[in-house]
Amino acid sequence: MKTLRNEKGFALLFVLILAAIALFMTLGMLFMVGRGSFVSGQQKRYRTAVEASRGGVEAMLQLIGSRAGNSLYSSMTTNIAANISIKLNNTTDTWGTLDNSIVIIPGDNTTYDMKVDLVTYTAYTKIVDTVQGNSGADSWPPLVGGCTGGAVTTGCGEFFPVSIPYLYTIEVLAQSTTNSTERSKISILYQY
């Protein structure tokens, strides 16, 4: 009976239990801080890749605006596919054997239309679909003039839609030149 009521060593056992609890809490906090740093680093790299994709989008939009002219790209390194003018000026069903899949493989230059080398990223862009818009490229200005005049005057209050010759579906893949896992992909629909 005397050994059951003996309280010697109880303080040591209690301190060991509290130390173990404190150790697990400290390890948990260190894990959370380390994981938070990892996640914020991943987010930073992803945001950088998204900005590189946006740069690729801007380069493709300039290419569409110039109708495949190369004069806008003297300040950046680009590779532009020879058949880009076919994709810009014809609907997808008339492309023939040109690639219109959404797959872009950075090592295969037949899977993208334009490559833009940015500082630490490379943006690969590709037109995957071209659709005729609400007007042809040669139908502006309109022949109907309304109150402002024109070849045919039918009266005031006529509505003239904004000319949109083509709608383009564009895929953009931006990838780091040093780490191929740092990438982002954007799909856009652009009217021009």
pTM, entire model: 0.67
**5 Cβ partners below 8 Å, 6+ apart?**
none
Structure tokens at 63: 């290419």
Q: For the stretch 84-120, what's the b/e string if a residue is b when 16 or more beta carbons lie within 10 angstroms of its beta carbon?
A: bebbbeeebeebeebbeeeebebeeeebbbbbbebee
Q: What percent of the chain has pLDDT over 70?
A: 74
Mean pLDDT of 152-168: 67
Tokens of 7: 């309280």
pLDDT value of position 161: 63
Please give the DSSP secondary-structure letter assigned to residue 141.
Answer: S
| pLDDT value at residue 138 | 46
Residue 130 exposed, middle or buried by CB count within 10 Å (0-12, 13-18, 19+) = buried
Q: Mean per-residue pLDDT for 132-148? A: 55
Whether 182 contacts 143, CB under 8 Å: no
* pLDDT, tens only, 84-138: 888 888 899 998 888 889 899 998 888 898 899 888 999 999 999 999 877 654 4
CB 182 within 8 A of CB 42: no
Predicted local confidence at residue 75, as pLDDT? 46
Give burial (CB, 10 Å; 0-12/13-18/19+) of 59: buried
